[in-house]
Amino acid sequence: MSSTKRSSGVVEAEVSATHLRLILRGARRIPSLNRKYRGVPDDPREPLVLVDLPVLTPLELSAATDELLRGSRPDDGSVVYASGGTPENPRLSLLPEDMFVKEVRTAWHALGHGDLLANFFSPGRQWPVHAFYNRLASRSGATALSVGDLPESQFGRDLALCARYGVNAVAAPPGVVGRLLRHRAAGHQLPWLRKLLIGGAFHDRTPAAELAALLPGVQVWQLYGSAEAWMVGHRGPGCPEGVFHTLPHQHAEIDGGRILVTTTGVRRAPALIRYLIGDRGEPAGCACGRSGRALRVLDRIAPSVVLQGSAVRAGELVDLALATGDVTAAQVAMVGTPGGEDRLELRVRLADDVPDDQYTREWIRHQVLERHLALDATGSEYSDDFQVVPVERLERRGPGEPPVLVREAAG
């Protein structure tokens, strides 16, 4: 693997022909990926360039992961987690046991000796981001206080405990960050908070201007990735909003506006080679001096949407609505608002004997969120972000079945 040294000593990911063949060798152990890359020359005398290889789609990766778990199993210790789906049809992902903490820590210096981190990521729902931040703190010489997610009624009490324990850093998902900002906007002071760690295997879109206005002087450190690709990029104080430097074990490229990710470590199984992460992006410059190519993350590629900070397939929400028995057809709509934020609506046609009332709407909403492995039915801070709306007919965009996802402009 060729590499380029930067002033910080971090090695930036490059993919030489030799290293690419090693990654492909691991991929070919899985039947479906062996078929996918059948036409790729294995002879070292043949030229091999990353951009000539086919794009790996989320459905292909999901099938390969399922084959690996049901067949030969991963070679080394691995973490299996539910990156989405339902209990009957989970979308499972695999990570090496250390979750690439060493590689992230090499480039992202959010924590150091003497820091005490309050970890507000939930340890439940087969989601390993909580464990990742604990290990990152340990690797950084810091101490982790495993708080987990809390009811909003206990939030002020536990922030007071953080101050008493000497916490100076917080790691939190989007819902808890929003709760923290509302707490601060209500006039509560947080003089002990020095660092805020946000993001993870998703893109936390909390506006930088709101963070700066309500938490002046607090350093904001952010990670970016996806449930399947894990952590891909990082940013810190001084980086423009939405701009991320790629991590040393990740190679990111922009192909027709789409972000494609290749994990260069050969211990990743299934191998990620030009994986379609599901976001649009563009190359970006950054004057912060940090290493790694930088890219600006723009928005999601349909039919995926962002809900509660997680990338969710619109078709999964539709299937979960149909599974309630109260719905005969459904569709997800992204509705623009004058403020520029999208509101998600689950539009449903109710069965003939089902009343159109508030109880029915909340019941369907609860069932959909409760049964999706990446979502939380009890998150009151998200109540306005996702609503069930009964309709007489679904929107069509041409002949055939109505699309699972439609977009509408503000107004």
What region, left, alpha or beta, does residue 129 occupy, with left being phi > 0 and alpha being psi -120 to 50 degrees? alpha
Q: Where are the domains of the chain?
A: 305-408
Side-chain-facing half-sphere of 274: CA atoms under 13 Å: 16
Name all contacts of 46-54 with Cβ < 8 Å and 24+ positions apart. 47/17, 48/17, 48/20, 48/21, 49/17, 50/15, 50/20, 50/251, 50/253, 50/262, 50/273, 50/274, 51/253, 51/255, 51/274, 53/20, 53/273, 53/274, 54/274
Name the 3-class secondary structure at 343: strand
305-408 fold: GMP Synthetase; Chain A, domain 3 (3.30.300)
| Tens digit of pLDDT at every position of the chain (411 positions) | 333 333 344 445 678 888 899 999 989 999 999 999 998 988 878 889 999 999 999 989 999 999 988 876 666 668 888 888 888 888 888 898 899 999 999 999 999 999 999 999 988 665 789 999 999 999 999 999 999 877 778 888 999 999 999 999 999 988 889 899 999 999 999 999 999 999 988 888 889 999 999 999 999 999 999 989 999 999 999 999 999 999 999 999 999 999 999 999 777 889 999 999 999 999 999 989 887 789 999 988 877 788 877 778 899 999 999 999 999 999 999 887 766 667 899 999 999 999 999 999 999 999 999 998 888 777 666 667 789 999 999 988 777 788 999 988 765
